[in-house]
Amino acid sequence: MIIVRDRNTRGRTQLGWLDSRHTFSFGHYHDPNHMGFGALRVINDDRVAPGAGFDEHSHADMEIITYVLQGALEHKDSLGNGSVISPGDVQRMSAGTGVTHSEYNPSSSEPVHFLQLWIIPDARGITPSYEQKRFRLDERQGRLRLIGNRWGSEGAITIHQDVAIYAAEIAEGERIAYQLADGRKAWVHVARGIVRLNGDELREGDGAAIADERKIVLDTEHRAEVLLFDLE
């Protein structure tokens, strides 16, 4: 069974400097039919204007993953970390018992477009931690590259939950297949472009909940960038 979450039905926050689309309920957007999918709680599709961003704010008991699509995002936190996240970088901040951070677009001329993903951890009150890794384009081209899971396998970031996140860049004519294990489900999010999921067309911003399917097939006649979440 595949249920599509249409991009045009997502929640939206517009603040002048911020244009954010919410796949699941977030902030002032609340929809009891879209509160998350398993441990996947938030997919925010954010665009931030040059020189703008999120002032210091706090989080707790959440795995927060940032995936930049275009531009750059500057991160600073109360753990003493400071970095700039660019396309190809994946950042994980485990908020645990509590952490404060800020996120800004350091460019004076270019907007930044990024996805922020929240995953509910399997335990509360863990020690806050931070991790950032880079995944080259050739690692993601035409294949699902593991970018995060519980064990940090294959150079992926470590996520405190039984979830695996894959990223793929798919070019015209390429086809990717993925097998779901018994009892597992998946969420597919189209970060950019147009892709077919088991024959059905999805466009940038669309998502799909997948359950009781053993095989996931992604292909395109265009180009696409896709995230796949394998969940309990």
Closest by CA position to 66, among listed 151, 167, 138? 167
Give the pLDDT band of residue 81 (cuts 50, 70, 90): confident
Residue 228 is predicted with a pLDDT of 98
Average pLDDT over residues 96-115: 96
- Write down the CATH number for the domain with range 10-134: 2.60.120.10
Summarize pLDDT for 212-228 with one digit per residue, the tens: 999 999 999 999 999 99
Once rounded to an integer, what is the mean pLDDT over residues 19-30?
97
CATH among 3.30.1360.10, 1.10.3720.10, 2.40.37.10, 2.60.120.10 for 138-231: 2.60.120.10
In the chain, which residues fall in CATH 2.60.120.10?
10-134, 138-231
Task: Of 109, 64, 108, 110, give the one whose Cα is nearest residue 87.
Answer: 110
- Mean pLDDT for 8-32 is 97
Q: Quick one: pLDDT at residue 124? A: 97
From 39, 38, 49, 149, select the one nearest 90 (Cα to Cα). 149
Q: How much is the average pLDDT of 24-38?
A: 97
